[in-house]
Structure 1
């Protein structure tokens, strides 16, 4: 007799995802963790029914994806955890080491640097998980884009990197919109309505108990409790409402202007596949 496999969701292990996934797994529902850049492959090969993917994957996926309106990871200003650290003024940048773990943040950096400088310095993917920027930037570059918990737990020293840019704040100042870094994406035409209701209910429940999430998760991830509570409760935004959809559309349009994607104008809640310019 055939045994139905459980519904499987892919997600990141960062602190910022805890409001969306803490308590989500249950009988018949499994959550698997990975770095942001690995999750799209799980959707494409069918391992995941949905995944908390970088939003740029909506535009670069080889299969059609749609955004589930059940929450995501975003901001209305500075993020703390998506930041450019530079030894030289940004106007003098020639090359930036970018975190292999992220796709959306690298695309966002391209958009922001082009808007500010009129050009995009060379962006070179590097392994940043164990990088010690107090010694040197991987690849010998003068700047590095870092994402995730390590930006707080192993923050590069300001005396070595006096020129910094928080990408969430820079986007808000440039476009007057919030930003959505990650959202629940799926290739499925439909998911069980009870699954989407559960995902929304878990998000609402967790946002009402941020201090408890902090007590359970912050120390193990290297976060000071007070900073973690501010980060989850006030700095980040977990909505996927009209403003966030407008931000994703604007992000797609800006990527399209730079020739990074094609056919950026689309229905985000039911997207066709997008061709990506190498």
Structure 2
């Protein structure tokens, strides 16, 4: 049975602070007042931490976070963030041809565990290179007295740095994965806390809320493009190309791509086992938790 205090707390929904999820969240943001939910903003790693700590009910989270803690979550059906080719906002930037990076150190970000894991797989298995990694801020390190030879940039930072003159060699990790496997790559998923389900926190279907936000964004892309243009990362034509290259659904091909990623992580020793993809069903789970 739900505790009264919990019922009064608004539904807490994690929102990655990146441009790529604007089409999903904009309608939720403009309708948030008096809606019974609140949005909590942060980079992927922070939302992972908040979900694992039970401080969020639903969140966009790294694909690898679901793999590592699948027993804590259900997946939101038919919702994801990924690409079927170039993603533009997850890129390896290098001062020398990528094929010559053997023995070099690559700067990676702590903000996205999935992108860093994908980079390790691509460098090891796709390029066959033995490299090392260190963590830090790409924007800060580029301006230091000893800028990295190669770095991983993600999200809005990647959109800002992707044409940096110091780094003429670039690998779009979404495109590299597609060339390697022939499949979409799912960088992020939306998860529902099993503890929140057990506590009866969902009077309304959180999945329908998020799916509705995505569908609104797809139907109002002119509005989304106008809002995105304020960030001044890309021209309007580039924004059209950017959003067109993103995947916001979790169909069969996307699920196959996600399972392939998990299998390769197991092969690389980065996961003990690949998790099952278990999706939330509001009608079923509401019946199970009814007092």
- TM-score relative to the length of structure 2: 0.83
1:58 aligns with 2:69: no
Q: Does 1:213 align with 2:217?
A: no
Q: Deviations over 1:67-122 (max 9, x none)?
A: 21142211000111110011122233211001221111101011111113334411
- The answer to whether the aligner puts 1:149 opposite 2:156 as a matched pair is yes
User: Based on CA coordinates, which of the two structures has the bigger radius of gyration?
Assistant: 2
SS state at 1:56 partner: helix
Aligned to 1:237: 247
- 1:186 counterpart residue number: 192
1:7 is matched with which residue: 11, 32, 37?
11
Judged with a 3 Å threshold, the aligned counterparts in structure 2 of structure 1 residues 196 and 225 are, in CA distance, closer, same or farther, namely: same
State the SS of the aligned residue for 1:72: strand
Cα deviation, 1:174-202, whole Å, max 9, x if unaligned, reads: 00101111110123274555322121111
Distance in 2 (CA, whole Å) between partners of 1:21 and 1:270 is 21
In 1, Cα distance between equivalents of 2:69 and 2:234: 33
Q: How far does the alpha carbon of each residue in 1:198-242 deviate from its partner, in whole angstroms, 9 at most, with x for none?
A: 21111111111111111123313543222222212x111111111
Which runs of 5 or more residues in structure 1 are unaligned? Answer: 272-278
DSSP 3-state at the match of 2:39? strand
Secondary structure at 1:23's aligned position in 2? helix
On the 8 A contact 2:94/2:150 being kept in 1, the answer is: yes
- Kept after mapping to 2: 8 A contact 1:81/1:151: yes
What is the distance in 2 between the residues matched to 1:49 and 1:153? 32
After the TM superposition, which residues 108-127 of structure 1 pair with which residues of structure 2 at under 5 Å, given as runs? Answer: 108-127=118-137
Instruction: Look up the match of 1:275.
Output: none
Are the equivalent residues in 2 in contact too, given 1:70–1:196 (CA < 8 A)?
Answer: no
> What displacement does 1:161 show?
2.0
Tell me the C-alpha RMSD between the 2 structures. 2.3
List structure 1 segments (4+ residues) > 6 angstroms apart after TM superposition: none
Cα distance, 1:262–1:221 mapped onto 2, change above 3 Å: farther
Residue 228 (str. 1) matches residue 239 (str. 2): yes
TM value normalised by structure 1: 0.87
Q: Which residue of 1 aligns with 2:211?
A: 200
